[in-house]
Structure 1
Amino acid sequence: MANTTISRRTLLTTLAGAGVATLAGCDPATSPAAAILLPDPLLVEVDGGLGVLRGADRQTIPHGVVTADGRLVYASAPDGADTALWRIDAGRGATSERVSLPGRWVPQTVSADGTRVALTTEEVSATKERPAGRDVTPVLIADAGGVRQRLRLPGNFVPEAFTHDLAGLFVLEWLPPDSPDRYRVRVVDLTTGVPGPLFTRDKGPIPAGTEEEMRGDGRQAVLAPNRTVLYTLYTHQPDHQHTRDRISGRPGSDVHAFVHTLHLEQRWAYCVDLPHPFGEAAPDGHAMAITPDGGRLYIVDVTSGTVAEITTEDLTVRHTAKLAGATGPAYAAADRERLFLGAGAGVRTVDLADLAVTAERPVRDPVTGLILSPDGSRLYVGQNAAVAWHDPAAGGELGRAAVPGLVGLHGPARPA
């Protein structure tokens, strides 16, 4: 099985392939018969845009967000002074009827079940960049039928995720709103439109003035397979204090990285501190992957070679291991028994039983992404202008398809 890694939003614009027909807008195009067929539909990132690869077909989505399970994409495009919104079956390519939204909007986040989408007037990544200063944030809640609700949130907000029951919207509130340098997670009641604090892990309300304010880098996020918990890896948190420490009055620990755990159903948040040396090296040298059953979360810092295992039931670091260090951006994928780590021009296989390396194999180019096929029989490796797929057990390359401008791999595109 595959686990899908997300960065909360993926807004992509162009897709091209050597010997493969491209398309403008969001219409499918068919490639020549000689083009190499991908065994599985994939969602990829290329040159700042979102693309879907199906066999020899290619599809581009100028502005869109995809569900964490890779089944549905909400796409938008300018339509005069308004915005056209429609939904795409990522695995099959079927599209819904376009609906018109008044004004200009871009999709920001979609609910785990794919029935709701939150749109904003500007695109901002919840894990990659900070928004421009503003005093009011317009947010539109929509579905495949059109507008469901309009919000004007006083302050500077970025929608992050919907609550499991769709009655609330988790947001990052940036402070101060006109010149943001830190943020906190809040939840907007979609009945009243009022943002408020989350709960603590014991389901009690967070007292006023004790909410966590974060200043560091949100590196990566993954959604639990049961869609109820969102895990986000944060690094480089200067002067950060967790809610539990602010409530108790303790000074807190000197940590440079942690996993922010957001329960989408019960509306609580909890941070799992990562031990030294996590967070001290470059943020892009960190990666995270979750097992298919959702029971274990793995974080790696390839610069130091450190791997940590978190049990998601009790949210503690069970143990850590030290591997050989590497350089460059890190990528990770996991099945039930193995953790695959990509950095530089190599892919390592780590046995989950003892966090020991069982294989290390070179690849043709520096790795730009790792994902497992839904049946676990292929490990897709992002390469220079190409996607290659390997045998996860033997490690040999099974095939390769050209994708010029490839930035990274998002995940399998599954039929809705």
Structure 2
Amino acid sequence: MRAGNGAGGSRLVVGMKRRELLGLGGAVLMASCGSGSKPKKVEPGELLAVSVGDGMTVVESGTGRRVVTPAATLATADGRRLVSAVAEPGASRVVTRDARTGDVVAQTTVRGAGRLAAVTPDAGLVALVDGDPAGRLETTIVVAGPAGERHRLKLPGFVQPEAFSSTGTSLFVLDMLPPEHPDSYRVRVLDLAAGQLTALNLPNAEAGVKVLVPEGAEEQMRGEGRQAVFDARRQRLFTLYSHQPDHVHVRDLLHPETGARDGRPDVHAFVHTLSVADGWAVCVDLPSSFGTGPVEGLTIAQRGEEVWVADAGKGVLAVISADVLAVTQELRFTAVAGRARLAVSSSAAYLAAGRQVQVFDTGSKSPRATWALPGDTRGVAVSDTGLYVGQAEAVHRLHPETGAPVATVTVPGLTAVEHVLG
């Protein structure tokens, strides 16, 4: 599945820097030692997926040691596999690594300078796309597995792979319109064997019955600033978009008398829910205040039955039922400027933005605390035992209940803490 917005080209890091001599990052434990006490042994700790200047890598939370060489990378939905495409003369070498060890578990080479676009949950298939990323009249999509190239499809227009179907026999793609200078898009299905694009299925059809969206009723959307989370149990991809007020829903076109936005044409952000098993999509409109501030303040996370969405710059947070696909609650908090990230545990939701972490109780859906930080946040991740917040060149571990600092590890070039490897 997608992770973030894809990745750019990788850069070689040449030369032995001082931090490399120290083991690619050192641990700075926030504890004092009494006179004559023995140095405290540093444990590896949990594994964190983080982004640095050269792409994604995995570091030990206790030492900062890099387990995986940074590269322009896609992660599988569970984070256990990392896939990168290494440019070679006239080809791309696709390398799959075990995120926990950095070991190469598969690699293959395909023709052309393809960019990674999508990966199946088990990393058994990857999709690469060739063509101008800003606008194109023709797109080449290559699907490869461990044994090599499976499909090479040349399609008219600007088509961007989004996710594989649960069977791996098709790709859900964004069909950008108009292709040379796109300002809108629709989600379509690419049958890999036939090489043909079709519409999605209608949601809420009878069990086992799949009916295509009627011609002319496909969604036309405009959007920017997106993050995505994948629900493995429900086989659904939740993608957060901000968009213009003229977004059109399938439901509007099929049932104009009922409307899809409850008489609110000023909706500016929504969560696009894609069923990769059944091939349908539904947009969950967010309250009107969402998406009216800087795009960097928008963020999404999921745990269990709930999808949490925040707009830090507007001070609003919405909780979506992952089953009902509707906003069930809306919270208000003090707005804060800056890039925002959400992480949700069984008891709390942590919104990191600006120089603070705001904590919300997942049971009562109420603000619990605000913790100040020494610098602007660069991502947040939570596990059953630890809370990790990114800062410039470092990751801080905080106590998840009190916010008290526990330890800090140096991570040179850190741009974002992504997630804890389960």
By how many angstroms is 1:150 displaced?
1.0
- Name 1:141's counterpart in structure 2: 143
By how many angstroms is 1:198 displaced?
0.5
Distance change in 2, residues 1:154/1:378 (3 Å): same
1:244 equivalent to 2:246? Answer no
- Name 2:353's counterpart in structure 1: 343
Distance change in 2, residues 1:78/1:410 (3 Å): same
1:410 equivalent to 2:418? Answer yes
- Name 2:19's counterpart in structure 1: 20
1:64 equivalent to 2:76? Answer no
By how many angstroms is 1:78 displaced?
2.4
- Shifted more, 33-42 versus 218-227: the winner is 33-42
- Name 1:6's counterpart in structure 2: 3
1:262 equivalent to 2:274? Answer yes
Give the 5 Å matches for 1:186-265: 186-203=188-205, 204-226=211-233, 228-250=235-257, 253=261, 254=265, 255-265=267-277
1:311 equivalent to 2:321? Answer yes
By how many angstroms is 1:57 displaced?
2.9
Following the alignment from structure 1 to structure 2, what is the Cα–Cα distance between the partners of residues 267 and 207?
Answer: 14
- Name 1:379's counterpart in structure 2: 387
By how many angstroms is 1:13 displaced?
3.2
1:158 equivalent to 2:164? Answer no
1:179 to 162, 165, 181: 181
Distance change in 2, residues 1:62/1:303 (3 Å): closer
Following the alignment from structure 2 to structure 1, what is the Cα–Cα distance between the partners of residues 301 and 12?
Answer: 26
Greater relative contact order structure (CA < 8 Å, 6+ sep): 1
8 Å CA contact 2:3–2:74 kept in 1: the answer is no
SS of the residue corresponding to residue 6 of structure 1 reads coil
- Name 1:84's counterpart in structure 2: 93
Following the alignment from structure 1 to structure 2, what is the Cα–Cα distance between the partners of residues 158 and 213?
Answer: 15
- Name 2:399's counterpart in structure 1: 391
SS of the residue corresponding to residue 244 of structure 1 reads helix
SS of the residue corresponding to residue 252 of structure 2 reads helix
Distance change in 2, residues 1:399/1:172 (3 Å): same
- Return structure 1 stretches of 4+ with deviation > 6 angstroms: 15-18
SS of the residue corresponding to residue 98 of structure 1 reads strand
- Name 1:327's counterpart in structure 2: 337
- Name 1:46's counterpart in structure 2: 52
Following the alignment from structure 1 to structure 2, what is the Cα–Cα distance between the partners of residues 15 and 394?
Answer: 40
Q: Which amino acid aligns with 2:353?
A: A
By how many angstroms is 1:18 displaced?
7.7
- Name 2:118's counterpart in structure 1: 109
Deviations 1:106-150 (A, max 9, x none): 221101222110011258xxxxxxx32222110111112211111
- Shifted more, 13-22 versus 34-43: the winner is 13-22
8 Å CA contact 2:380–2:387 kept in 1: the answer is yes
Q: Which amino acid aligns with 2:278?
A: Q
Following the alignment from structure 2 to structure 1, what is the Cα–Cα distance between the partners of residues 215 and 24?
Answer: 61
By how many angstroms is 1:162 displaced?
0.2
Ranges in structure 1 where 5+ consecutive residues have no aligned partner: 23-29, 124-130
- Name 1:282's counterpart in structure 2: 294
Q: Taking structure 1 as the reference length, what is the TM-score of the superposition?
A: 0.88
By how many angstroms is 1:368 displaced?
1.1
SS of the residue corresponding to residue 20 of structure 1 reads helix
Distance change in 2, residues 1:83/1:178 (3 Å): same
- Name 2:170's counterpart in structure 1: 168
Distance change in 2, residues 1:195/1:38 (3 Å): farther
Following the alignment from structure 2 to structure 1, what is the Cα–Cα distance between the partners of residues 329 and 254?
Answer: 28
Following the alignment from structure 2 to structure 1, what is the Cα–Cα distance between the partners of residues 2 and 130?
Answer: 25
By how many angstroms is 1:330 displaced?
1.5
Q: Taking structure 2 as the reference length, what is the TM-score of the superposition?
A: 0.86
By how many angstroms is 1:287 displaced?
1.3
By how many angstroms is 1:380 displaced?
1.0
By how many angstroms is 1:19 displaced?
4.6
Following the alignment from structure 1 to structure 2, what is the Cα–Cα distance between the partners of residues 324 and 155?
Answer: 44
Determine what percentage of the aligned residue pairs are the same residue: 33
Deviations 1:179-201 (A, max 9, x none): 21111111101120101110121
Deviations 1:43-82 (A, max 9, x none): 2112252222245235334332111211111222123322
1:31 equivalent to 2:23? Answer yes
Distance change in 2, residues 1:12/1:385 (3 Å): farther
- Name 1:128's counterpart in structure 2: none
Q: Which amino acid aligns with 2:302?
A: I
By how many angstroms is 1:84 displaced?
1.7
Distance change in 2, residues 1:135/1:32 (3 Å): closer
Ranges in structure 2 where 5+ consecutive residues have no aligned partner: 29-42, 206-210
Q: Count matched residues.
A: 393
Following the alignment from structure 1 to structure 2, what is the Cα–Cα distance between the partners of residues 49 and 66?
Answer: 11
By how many angstroms is 1:9 displaced?
2.5
Distance change in 2, residues 1:280/1:221 (3 Å): same
8 Å CA contact 1:14–1:60 kept in 2: the answer is no
8 Å CA contact 2:25–2:410 kept in 1: the answer is no
SS of the residue corresponding to residue 86 of structure 2 reads strand
Distance change in 2, residues 1:245/1:221 (3 Å): same
Following the alignment from structure 1 to structure 2, what is the Cα–Cα distance between the partners of residues 200 and 75?
Answer: 35
Distance change in 2, residues 1:97/1:225 (3 Å): closer
Following the alignment from structure 2 to structure 1, what is the Cα–Cα distance between the partners of residues 100 and 419?
Answer: 11
Distance change in 2, residues 1:78/1:193 (3 Å): same
By how many angstroms is 1:171 displaced?
0.5
